[in-house]
Amino acid sequence: MTDAHSTPHIAEQAGTLLLGGDLPVHRLGFGAMRIVGEGVWGPPRDRDEALAVLRRTVELGINFIDTADSYGPQISEQLIREALYPYADDLVIGTKAGFVRTGPAQWHRLGRPEYLRQQVEVSLRNLGVERIDLMQLHRIDPEVPLADQLGALVELQGEGKVGHIGLSEVSVDELSAARAITPIASVQNQYAPSFRQSEDVLEQCEKDGIAFLPWAPVGRGEMAAADSPLAAIAAEHGVSPVQLALSWLLHRSPVMLPIPGTSRVAHLEENTAAAAVRLSPEEVERISQLLS
């Protein structure tokens, strides 16, 4: 199995993309949703392990962390600050706003401009920064004009509090509508080898040089199961099915920026080691066909 211990800064082997055209990040990031409690609610079960995960993240060469005000809520951002502040010069943190949380596993869209502005201010305070590198609209609120939702972020951008603006869970048409309002640096949609409903969005992002951040990049656990459909090919490479799935994503597109998340250091190291796995074009196609 590919080992992160033997290769310091192994995430660098995933290659680099320019997020928003000016922020160089390695193409294997970290999603900080799972470092909080069950149902993405409350404090982590093991606070010391959560902090260790975050510190190990940057030791492995990961320099992009994705979080959200709604993870906890607020707790994920606060843990990031506790573990990593003062931040390394090359660390890019993206966060999101646009959900209200009322309990474990409960999510409610809220895109009113005053709420988004309030939540950006909260994130600035929680993260301990003067500017958020990447501020993503967590979901488009159908009850609020898109121009108003993005307009709030554009205003904050003008005030120097937001660097780049991104979107989450959008269609090609929604991406086009957003880009008519303001430049979009990233799109974060669910995407995995076994879940490719956003193929058209990925292709549009690739065409326009927009970073594509697949969430749940190894599916809902099926890739890691004993009967994983990738088990045989993974064995040929001497890697885990999870590592193979992440490698497939990295090979799939140069704008792909997977953000696998975990609450355990061992899983983080396994995920990050995928940066060193090399696949031939034929193997990439074989996996594509296997999971189509």
Output the pLDDT for position 266.
97
pLDDT > 90? residue 12: yes
Output the pLDDT for position 246.
97
Lowest mean pLDDT among 84-88, 218-222, 279-283: 218-222
pLDDT > 90? residue 128: yes
Q: 10-290 in CATH: which number?
A: 3.20.20.100
Is residue 20 within 8 Å of residue 163, measured between CB atoms? yes
**pLDDT tens string 202-215:** 999 999 999 999 99
Please compute the mean of the pLDDT values over residues 20-26 and round it to a whole number: 97
Active site residues: 71
CA distance 47 to 154: 35
CA–CA–CA angle 185, 190, 196 (5° rounding): 110
Looking at the DSSP bridge assignments, the partners of residue 134 are: 94, 164
The overall average pLDDT reported for the chain is 96
**pLDDT tens string 176-193:** 999 999 999 999 999 999
Lowest mean pLDDT among 1-10, 42-51, 163-172, 233-242: 1-10
Is residue 189 within 8 Å of residue 215, measured between CB atoms? yes
CA distance 198 to 249: 13
Q: What is the DSSP string of the chain?
A: ---STTSTTGGGGG-EEEETTTEEEES--EETTTTS-GGGBSS-SSHHHHHHHHHHHHHTT--EEE--TTTBTTHHHHHHHHHHPSPPTT-EEEEEE-EEEEETTEEEE---HHHHHHHHHHHHHHHT-SSEEEEEESS--TTS-HHHHHHHHHHHHHTTSEEEEEEES--HHHHHHHHTTS---EEE-B-BTTB-TTHHHHHHHHHHT-EE--BSTTTTTTTTSTT-TTHHHHHHHTS-HHHHHHHHHHHH-TTB------S-HHHHHHHHGGGG----HHHHHHHHHHT-
Output the pLDDT for position 225.
79
pLDDT band at 227 (very low <50, low <70, confident <90, very high): confident
Output the pLDDT for position 224.
78
